[in-house]
Amino acid sequence: MHEHVTDHYVQRAKAEGWRSRAAFKLMEIDDKDHLLGPGMLVVDLGAAPGGWSQVAAERVSGGRILALDLLDMAPLAGVELLRGDFREEAVLAELTSRLAGRPADLVISDMAPNISGIATTDQARAVHLAELALEFAAAHLKPGGHFLVKAFQGGGFEAFRRAMAAGFDKVVVRKPKSSRDRSSEVYLLGTGCRPQSREG
């Protein structure tokens, strides 16, 4: 708790009006990889409390942000909120219907499981969430679209990275400065979605 309260990025987020320190992770990756642009349709999975959606809304002028989370999220200007469990078919169907047939330019996922403290269980749950996000991205991204997902280095990580690589022109690992050094958390960025990844 002390680490969180005294964290440079937590303090900076409060001072600058960002909803969470996670905002700086997306800003840093976007500054490097230029993922966000005017008029884009962005889907934010695991959005609460809204740090990533907040950044996206600022950088996608005239665009549309669809944000989904299991938790309640306070309204954000320029962001459409949907509450529900991404693992449930009904929630996925509702999210899909909101797209109204338009493919997404970018899918971002900062989803993480509730931590049980059992490392193998937590890793398996994290990989499962990343796989679900990848399935959604493969089905709903436009050709050439991008996908950014939180992942944790450990069991299943390399297999997941290979699965991503099958559907994108390029997959790179990003470890933003605002991601704690001791954490196994990284972000995988897939650029150039290939439509053939939707087969099968």
CA 188/CA 16 separation, integer angstroms: 27
Q: Measuring CA to CA, how many Å separate 138 from each of 29, 36, 147, 157, 178?
A: 21, 19, 9, 18, 28
Q: Is 80 helix (H, G, I), strand (E, B) or coil?
A: strand
Nearest residue to 105 via CA among 30, 191, 29, 42: 42
Nearest residue to 194 via CA among 170, 160, 158: 170
**Catalytic annotation on 150?**
yes
- Say which DSSP state 115 is in: P
Which amino acid is residue 134, in one-letter code?
A: L
Name the percent of the chain in helix, strand, coil, to the closest 5: 40, 25, 35
Nearest residue to 100 via CA among 64, 129, 148, 76: 64
Tokens found for residue 105: 């330019």
Selected catalytic residue, list 14, 25, 32, 150: 150
CA 61/CA 47 separation, integer angstroms: 19
- Known catalytic residues? 150
